[in-house]
Amino acid sequence: MKIHDKALPVLYALLAAVFYAVNTPFSKVLLANVSPTFMAAFLYLGAGAGVGIMYIFHFKKEDRSERLTKKDLPYTLGMIVLDIAAPILLMLGIKYGSAANASLLGNFEIAATTLIALVIFHETVSKRLWAAIALISLSSIILSLEGADSFRFSYGSLFVLSAAVCWGLENNCTRNISGKSTYEIVVLKGLCSGGGSMLVALVLREPFPAVGYITAAMLLGFVAYGLSIFMYIRAQRSLGAAKTSAYYAAAPFVGAFISFVMLGEPLTLSYFTALLIMAAGTALVVADTVIRQHTHMHTHTFSHTHNGVTHIHTITHSHEHNHYASGNSHGHRHSKKQLEALTEHNR
What pLDDT, in 10s, does the model give residues 243-275?
A: 787 777 777 778 778 877 887 767 677 778 877
User: Is 96 a residue whose pLDDT tops 80?
Assistant: yes
DSSP letter for 241, please. Answer: H
Sheet of strand 329-333: strand arrangement? 290-306, 309-326, 329-333
Residue where a domain terminates, one of 288, 306, 328: 288
> Are residues 206 and 136 part of one domain?
yes
Instruction: Provide mean pLDDT across the span 50-76.
Output: 88
> Are residues 267 and 329 part of one domain?
no
> Are residues 188 and 312 part of one domain?
no
Distance of CA 160 to the CA centre of its chain: 17
> Are residues 231 and 90 part of one domain?
yes
> Are residues 243 and 255 part of one domain?
yes
Q: What percent of the chain stands above pLDDT 70?
A: 73
Integer Cα distance of 347 and 44 in angstroms: 50
Integer Cα distance of 15 and 230 in angstroms: 10
Residue of 6, 1, 2 whose CA lies nearest to 239 = 6
Give residue 14's domain range: 3-288
Tell me the three state secondary structure of residue 187: helix
Residue where a domain terminates, one of 271, 288, 305: 288
> Are residues 49 and 15 part of one domain?
yes
Integer Cα distance of 10 and 283 in angstroms: 12
What pLDDT, in 10s, does the model give residues 67-77?
A: 889 899 999 99
Domain count of the fold of the chain = 2
Cα-based distances in Å from 199 to 37, 38, 41, 79, 261: 9, 9, 9, 17, 35
Total-model pTM: 0.67
Q: What is the sign of the dihedral through the CA atoms of 223, 226, 231 and 232?
A: positive
Strand partners, 299: 316
> Are residues 235 and 342 part of one domain?
no
Integer Cα distance of 214 and 39 in angstroms: 8
